[in-house]
Structure 1
Amino acid sequence: MYRFLFSSKWLGYLLLAAIFAAGCVFLGRWQMDRRAETLAEINRVVSNYSSAPIPFSEARDQFRNMDPEREWTQVELKGRYDTEGERVVRNRTLNGQPGYEVVVPFRLDTGETVVIDRGWLPIGNKTPGRPDSVPAPPSGEVTAIVRLKPGEPQLQRGAPDGQLASIDLPTYAGELGYPLLTGAYGLLASETPPVPDMPAAFPMPDTDEGTHLSYSLQWFAFGILMFVGFGYAARQQARNAAIDAQDALDAEEAGLEPMHSTAAAPRRRTPARRRGGRPTAEEEEDAILDAQGF
């Protein structure tokens, strides 16, 4: 019944179904990989974001070469801000609004220097391309609680004086002219003593895993449905072929049966001939009527 599946036509259909299903599986696995990355990031945030701050002595290696698993870890720093080295970072957004981030070198009591991101500022209205004002950090001895963040790559674009295109720590160190710990910087959580005017703080990262799982299940379902559709089409083809074969058999059987009639066939008149073999007028009339079926 299903021998037609071995035809080139149906083998081609099966190949197309397999290619489509393989593509669906690839996209489904890609969504699962993205979900795994998102879950790993969520786990880092949940475990590190609100953990108790550790002293700088325990985090020194992270500021030199940060372990990605330690991102968002809180660190307590003690020292002074170097306001002369303050910069604003261009093209930064917060809640969909464009603006700047304020980064300031922080000289630790140990003699080392790290970078602290103090927060976000909106685009200014007075001078194009600059914030209207940059709140000054506390002066004197400061205790800052920061969260570890990796440095950013260098961008292929410049920035005006006093600004950075990204938080590229080696480039920043080159502008300052003195050593920085360039493996990570600190995102400010709090500082003591506080100041009345502060840049906007960044909210906690989103811990929603998104729609990756539902999308991956949809792609896997599409791949399965392709074979379900192929099987349904094959079943319909076999059903139609069976119906056509039965119709042909019925027609063949109907054509082979003898015709039976309940009425006796009329006897044809056999007229007598005259002597000499020449038909009479009556015989000619009977022949005409016989030819016409009467």
Structure 2
Amino acid sequence: MSQLTAPAPESDQPSAKKARLDYRFVLSPQWLGGLAFCVIFSIACALLGQWQMDRRMEAVTEINKVLENYDEAPVPLAGHADLFTDFQAAQEWTPVSLTGAYDEEDTRIVRNRPKAGKPGYEVLVPFRADTGETIVVNRGWLPIGNTAGRPDVVPSPPEGEVTVQVRTRPGEPDIGRDAPEGQLASIDLVAFEESVGYQVADTAYGEMIQEDPAPQTRPQTLVPPTLDEGPHLSYSVQWFLFGLMSFFVWGYMARQRAINDRDDRALGLTEETGYIAAYRPPRPKPVRRRNGRPTDEEAEDALLDAADSHP
């Protein structure tokens, strides 16, 4: 009487999932090339992330200058003329009180100065202070007029002795554009000085806060500085994450390849035998005729089998 042998427990049976994963394929040129691409891509992402971080730091620096200087009490021009003649970046937005008179005849209009999405101009007037300096004052903004190339009306500044409160702003560079007579392409103080023919403070100008006495009409107040640092921090983090994700994607694809290779080995499918040769679907069973005679398909198969058995 034969002895029956109990089947091995399921835990003792070989399982494809318990086989060791083989990652040697990552040493192939194809996979090493993919890894090299990840390295280059991550370096590019890191540089872009650092660029966004630098832009954020610039914005934070500007915000700090506004918070430190914008709402301070005005200082007199006497003793602080260097705010306009030897301007330092940390001094931007410092309020200064000027006493003297405007030189309306040398008013200049600055072109292409949008405000709230609307095109317009800004009005620059030289101010001869009683301390001897001539400071360029930006009196405000005007919309474009009915006549192309200039505003309809430029409001006159107060006549006689005037006390003006301004905030210091750095002069702008020459942008290389021409402008009609009496106009400037930017707040280039050197170009302003050349146009009027006498010396003015050429490192900073004053953005007007108020005038005493106040005129009946004046240009519109300029837009105050923003305290928003922008989306630079989030953009920077995103770039750094993109660089890291490239390695995660490469590693995930490598693991999936290793799992697929393990499963193929468990089924006996290899690159040498070929997947198509290892698995051939069975031929469909032919339908026999009612009279018992073989069908055309059966006859054809019989001929093919006979040819295979007698080479």
Structure 1 residue 176: Cα displacement? 1.5
Decide which structure has the larger Cα Rg and report it: 1
Overall identity of the aligned pairs, in %? 53
CA distance in structure 2 between the partners assigned to 1:27 and 1:154 by the alignment: 29
Give the corresponding residue for 2:9.
Answer: none
Pairing of 1:147-226 with structure 2 (within 5 A): 147-226=167-246
User: What CA deviation, in whole Å up to 9, does each residue of 1:185-220 have, x standing for no partner?
Assistant: 000011111111010001211111111111111111
Letter of the structure 2 residue corresponding to residue 176 of structure 1: V
CA distance in structure 1 between the partners assigned to 2:114 and 2:186 by the alignment: 13
What is the count of residue pairs matched by the alignment?
Answer: 248
Residue of 45, 52, 55 corresponding to 1:34: 55
| SS in structure 2 of the partner of residue 57 of structure 1 | coil
Structure 1 residue 59: Cα displacement? 2.5
CA distance in structure 1 between the partners assigned to 2:111 and 2:208 by the alignment: 18
Give the corresponding residue for 1:89.
Answer: 110
Structure 1 residue 50: Cα displacement? 1.1
CA distance in structure 2 between the partners assigned to 1:211 and 1:155 by the alignment: 28
CA distance in structure 1 between the partners assigned to 2:215 and 2:268 by the alignment: 96
Residue of 17, 23, 27 corresponding to 1:6: 27
Structure 1 residue 248: Cα displacement? 2.2
| SS in structure 2 of the partner of residue 30 of structure 1 | helix
1:21 aligns with 2:42: yes
Structure 1 residue 85: Cα displacement? 1.0
| SS in structure 2 of the partner of residue 104 of structure 1 | strand
Structure 1 residue 47: Cα displacement? 1.3
Q: How big is the alpha-carbon RMSD for the aligned residues of Structure 1 and Structure 2?
A: 1.3
| SS in structure 2 of the partner of residue 91 of structure 1 | coil
Structure 1 residue 155: Cα displacement? 2.9
Pairing of 1:255-274 with structure 2 (within 5 A): none
Letter of the structure 1 residue corresponding to residue 86 of structure 2: N
- Ranges in structure 1 where 5+ consecutive residues have no aligned partner: 250-294
Normalising by structure 1, what TM-score? 0.81
Pairing of 1:215-294 with structure 2 (within 5 A): 215-248=235-268
Normalising by structure 2, what TM-score? 0.77
Letter of the structure 2 residue corresponding to residue 7 of structure 1: S
- Ranges in structure 2 where 5+ consecutive residues have no aligned partner: 1-21, 270-311
